[in-house]
Amino acid sequence: MTATDRQAAVSATLIQLADTLVSEYDLLEHLDLLLHRSANVLEAEAGGVMLSNRRGELQLLASTDEPARLMELHELARQQGPSVECFQGGVQVEELEPARE
């Protein structure tokens, strides 16, 4: 994806997300759209969105596909992996290759 294509995709996404704020708002659809567009712009193979609940526990809200969903759920169950590490450390974590077990 070229820089111009990336810029156009980001602009289109922000416009579409802004439109959802004035119409009927569905948080999960909003997060799903943001996740898929972000993965596309970043040329990521997969991704997920986790948010912390009121007790400080991470919950999976969106994933790019079923394998990504299963991987994120596995991280939550083990309390280990890039998403958990990012949340606990408050820093960006870049996972270039999935861990093999």
Quote the pTM value: 0.69
Question: What does the pLDDT look like over 76-101, one tens digit per residue?
Answer: 999 999 899 999 999 888 766 655 55
Q: Above 90 in pLDDT, residue 14? A: no
pLDDT at 42: 85
Count CB-CB contacts under 10 A for residue 41: 16
Residue closest to 75 by CA, chosen among 46, 33, 42, 41: 46
Which contacts (CB < 8 Å, 24+ apart) does range 87-94 have?
Answer: 87/50, 87/52, 87/58
Q: What's the CA gap between 73 and 65, in Å, rounded?
A: 12
The better pLDDT of the pair 15, 64 is held by 64
Do residues 76 and 60 lie in contact, with contact meaning Cβ atoms separated by under 8 Å? yes
Question: What does the pLDDT look like over 19-72, one tens digit per residue?
Answer: 666 667 788 888 898 899 889 888 888 999 999 999 999 999 999 999 999 999
Residue closest to 27 by CA, chosen among 15, 17, 42: 17
